[in-house]
């Protein structure tokens, strides 16, 4: 990391710069090497590299890559890359990170990087007896799984535990599921875990006399959790005609809706995933795995509910937290193949998968706060409209400072249309 200096994530006026100026400022802020930012500017993945990643490649598909500002996570400034097509997400995260900064930023933690591999064992006349037999051989099975990946083992990873669950009721009757808990260190871990599960299968059949069917990782990675918390001083929440207390209480009331109602919880959690997925994608990680884990975790009590929690502390400040599975890696897969994924990891200066997980969950929490604040005050459309208005202003021919001026007037008038933008430009003599 010789090229990385301690960056600041506070870049006031960044959104007003041209694309080229933003890249230059980012380079200066992060001190990243010219080579990586050349990768970035070249729009990342070439068709040649893509051809080695999946089958039947005919090209690549690009998304906008933005940078969320103001994030202070565990005392460190982080510039957060976000790949997403939806307007307002990057701005929302950046703004909430600014408010959270006033309360010390985000404090994030993560559990050990343990993934679960599942091995389904069928055709057992006595599931309880077979379960005990497997538990009696736990150490031997763990030793075998542990020897599968010497590189991972050398890095301190490997098999950690073996659990045997009885599935009593299923369409095919009772069967067993062996859970292999595997420390995958800085990898996402699917390959290591799937290989270990496949390796254990013959031994499990020999011990039980049963038949092993599926051998695959579980995306409900509830032994690999990341948590983030923030405190927003209540005065920071005030804006326009809204006192801070009203905004705070509005956010808590909105959260209560998601806690109690699964229709709302789905949308509430989608807002969290707007932030989470954007960073997961920017770092070349598997966002379907993260989505699957998030929603299964949100339903872990048997009832689908909010992933986040909002309340107030003794001083009346808004306090939020988010805990969710976060199976992301910084080695292997697209994280090492995709040039933009590599640049994203460098930009954030992350050294471990745990650190990346902590950043992602903090962005999810900021994004959730952005949505709840907008929804419980002026509504979501106003924020969307300001970005939309900029696009309309540009389409009408505005350039430079005029873009913001025309856009702001249209938003104030609540008329965001190209004919109005043209008229404003005309009135301004342009």
**Which residues are known catalytic residues?**
86, 270, 286, 384
256: region left, alpha or beta (phi > 0 left; psi from -120 to 50 alpha): alpha
How far is it, in rounded angstroms, from Cα 231 to Cα 376? 18
Near ligand MEV by CB under 6 A, which window of 76-84, 236-244, 264-272, 349-357?
A: 264-272
Closest CA to 92 of 405, 371, 406: 371
- With CB atoms as reference, the residue minimizing the distance to ligand MEV is 271
How many residues of this chain interact with ligand MEV, rule: CB under 6 A? 9
Closer of 115 and 374 to ligand MEV (Cβ)? 374
Find the binding residues for ligand MEV in span 191-210 (CB under 6 A): none
Find the binding residues for ligand MEV in span 274-313 (CB under 6 A): 274
Q: What's the chain's Rg over C-alpha atoms?
A: 25
Task: Convert 137-173 to b/e letters by CB count within 10 Å (16 or more is b).
Answer: beeebbebbbebbeebbeeebbbbebebeeeeeeeee
Closer of 244 and 275 to ligand MEV (Cβ)? 275
User: What's the closest the beta carbon of residue 20 comes to ligand MEV, in angstroms?
Assistant: 29
Q: What ranges in 31-168 are assigned the alpha helix state H? A: 34-41, 47-51, 89-101, 127-136, 138-146, 150-154
Closer of 124 and 372 to ligand MEV (Cβ)? 372
Q: Which of 138, 160, 211, 270 binds ligand MEV (CB under 6 A)?
A: 270
Fill in the DSSP letter of residue 329. -
Q: Which two tokens stand for residue 261?
A: 């109602």
- 268 counts as binding ligand MEV under rule CB under 6 A: yes
Q: Which two tokens stand for residue 162?
A: 């073996």
Find the binding residues for ligand MEV in span 360-379 (CB under 6 A): 371, 375
Closest CA to 345 of 48, 109, 36: 36
Beta bridge partners of 167: 175
Near ligand MEV by CB under 6 A, which window of 57-65, 68-76, 265-273, 329-337?
A: 265-273
User: What's the closest the beta carbon of residue 270 comes to ligand MEV, in angstroms?
Assistant: 5
Site string for ligand MEV, 34-73 (x = CB under 6 A): ----------------------------------------
What count of residues does the chain have? 430
Per CB under 6 A, residues contacting ligand MEV are: 86, 267-268, 270-271, 274, 371, 375, 380
């Amino acid at each position: 990391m010789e090229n990385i200096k301690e960056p600041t994530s506070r870049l006031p006026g960044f959104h007003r710069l041209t694309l080229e100026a933003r890249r230059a400022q980012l380079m200066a802020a992060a001190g990243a090497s010219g080579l990586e930012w050349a990768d970035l500017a070249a729009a990342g993945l070439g068709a040649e590299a893509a051809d080695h990643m999946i089958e039947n490649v005919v090209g690549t598909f690009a998304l906008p890559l933005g940078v969320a500002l103001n994030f202070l996570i565990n005392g460190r400034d982080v510039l957060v890359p976000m790949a997403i097509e939806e307007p307002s997400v990057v701005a929302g995260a950046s703004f909430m990170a600014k408010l959270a900064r006033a309360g010390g930023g985000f404090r994030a933690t993560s559990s050990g990087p343990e993934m679960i591999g599942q091995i389904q064992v069928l055709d057992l006349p006595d599931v309880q007896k077979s379960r005990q037999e497997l538990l009696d051989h736990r150490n031997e099975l763990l030793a075998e799984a542990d020897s599968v990946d010497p590189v991972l083992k050398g890095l301190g990873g490997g098999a950690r535990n073996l659990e045997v669950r009885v599935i009593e009721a299923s369409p095919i009757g009772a069967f067993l599921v062996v859970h292999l808990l595997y420390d995958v260190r800085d990898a996402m871990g699917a390959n290591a875990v799937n290989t270990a599960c496949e390796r254990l299968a013959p031994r499990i059949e020999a011990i039980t006399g049963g038949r092993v069917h599926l051998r695959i990782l579980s995306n409900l990675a509830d032994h690999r959790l990341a948590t983030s918390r923030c405190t927003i001083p209540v005065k920071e929440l005030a804006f326009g005609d809204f006192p801070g207390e009203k905004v705070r209480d509005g956010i808590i009331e909105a959260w209560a809706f998601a806690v109690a109602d699964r229709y709302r919880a789905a949308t509430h959690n989608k807002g969290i995933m707007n932030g989470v997925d954007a960073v997961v994608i920017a770092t070349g990680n598997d966002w379907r795995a993260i989505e699957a884990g998030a929603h299964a975790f949100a339903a872990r009590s048997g009832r689908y509910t909010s992933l986040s929690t909002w309340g107030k502390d003794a001083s009346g400040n808004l306090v939020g937290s988010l805990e969710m599975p976060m199976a992301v890696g910084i080695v292997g897969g697209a994280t090492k193949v995709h040039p933009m994924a590599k640049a994203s990891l460098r930009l954030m200066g992350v050294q471990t998968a745990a650190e990346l997980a902590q950043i992602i969950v903090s962005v999810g929490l900021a994004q959730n706060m952005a949505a709840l604040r907008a929804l419980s005050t002026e509504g979501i459309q106003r924020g969307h409209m300001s970005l939309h208005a900029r696009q309309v202003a540009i389409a009408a021919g505005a350039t430079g400072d005029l873009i913001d001026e025309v856009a702001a007037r249209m938003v104030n008038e609540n008329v965001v249309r190209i004919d109005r933008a043209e008229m404003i430009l005309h009135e301004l003599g342009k």
